[in-house]
Amino acid sequence: MSGAVLAVVRAGALTTVQDLGRPGYAHLGVPASGALDRPAHLLANRLVGNSPGAAGLETTVTGCAIRPSRPLVAAVTGAACPVRVDGRPAAWGAPVRVPAGAVLDVGAATCGIRSYVAFAGGLDLPPVLGSRAADLLSGLGPAPLVDGAELPLGRARLGPAGGCDVLPYGPLGAELVLPLVPGPRADWFAPGALRALARGRYTVSPASNRIGLRTLGPPVARVRHEELPSEGMVLGAVQVPPDGRPVVFLADHPTTGGYPVIGVVPSPAVAAAGQAAPGAPVRFAPTSLR
């Protein structure tokens, strides 16, 4: 710990501390958690010279504002948004120098919903089960940010990644397309359910959160209606509750569940689901593991 801190000037709608999560504890009922848009989190850390697992901030929709007690280098990635240092425009997707006492303001998202803010040295909060990630389902890790809170900063050891001024980050599409590997409970659904799911017009529900992306659209028809004993759930599992509308499990998902899973979205495609805004169109594209 360096003794330096970040003071939270504006916490925003929901800003949490995130890193790469705490995998390996599902057998104890502990979700992996971690950044929903992992590529954006990794990119932000790389831009400021951190290790991939350094802890930073994940903002939701409205951004946040912080004031460091020492000069630092920060980077904002993920959802596009205005970035300002003491009211002056600064770069998004590139290292930004923030003087001691200046306010780094991460504005409201203009494309996507979650921005990622990395600081050289990372956030040095006490790890829980090897991670500093906030898990909103289990309550492990630090609580969501509130105005006036202070977060300890770690010591910066490296400069920006290889002297890079900026690194590429792919644009977010207007439509969320999710590849879907069928199973393991596809036989609980009516014949042609996968084709109907692929043709269905779905949108992101406002009830979505870090636990799961909920959808609105035509219900998926089941042929089996008995209770299913709880079984293990993985990141990207597409569970179908009694209302028939698919739910895609995200980073804070429960480790078990009792609704049938019609398929699984492969992990590399899940990051985009973490950036999908309410009302955005969703399309499922059945595929195979190969």
Residue 110 per-residue DSSP state: S
Q: Is the pTM of this model over 0.85?
A: yes
Residue range 235-281, pLDDT digits in tens: 999 999 999 999 999 999 999 999 999 999 999 899 999 999 999 99
Q: What is the DSSP letter of 3?
A: S
CA distance 147 to 86: 18
| Residue carrying the six token digits 């509750």 | 241
Average pLDDT over residues 23-37: 93
pLDDT digits (tens, 9 = 90+) for 99-132: 999 999 999 999 999 999 999 999 999 999 999 9
Q: Comparing 58 with 226, which gets the higher pLDDT?
A: 58
What is the pLDDT, as a whole number, of residue 273?
94
Is residue 284 within 8 Å of 176, Cβ to Cβ? no
For 146-157, write each residue's pLDDT tens digit: 999 999 999 986
176-286 fold: Cyclophilin (2.40.100)
User: What is the pLDDT at residue 186?
Assistant: 85
At 7-19, the pLDDT tens digits run: 999 999 999 999 9
Cβ atoms 101, 117 nearer than 8 A: no
- The C-alpha atoms of residue 76 and residue 15 are separated, in whole angstroms, by 13
274: left (phi over 0), alpha (psi -120 to 50) or beta: alpha
Report the alpha-carbon distance of residue 26 to residue 231 in Å, rounded: 12
Q: Which long-range contacts (CB under 8 A, 24 or more apart) does 192-197 make?
A: 193/220, 193/221, 193/262, 194/262, 194/263, 194/286, 195/286, 196/220, 196/221, 197/246, 197/262, 197/284, 197/286
Q: Checking DSSP bridges between strand 281-286 and strand 176-182, what pairing results, if any?
A: parallel
- From CA 91, how far away is CA 32, in angstroms rounded? 31
The domains of the chain are located at 5-163, 176-286
Contacts of 152 (CB under 8 A, 6+ apart): 1, 2, 3, 4, 5, 123, 124, 125
pLDDT at 228: 87
pLDDT computed for residue 162 by the predictor: 44
Query: What pairs with residue 58 in β-bridges?
Result: 16, 116
Q: Which of 35-44, 51-60, 226-235 has the lowest mean pLDDT?
A: 226-235
Please check the confidence at residue 203 and state whether its pLDDT lies above 60: yes
Predicted pLDDT of residue 227: 80
Dig out the tokens for 8 from the structure.
């939270």
Distance CA 7, CA 261 (A): 43
pLDDT tens track for 168-188: 666 667 789 999 999 889 889
Please provide the average confidence, as pLDDT, over all residues in the chain.
92
Overall average pLDDT of the 198-209 stretch: 96
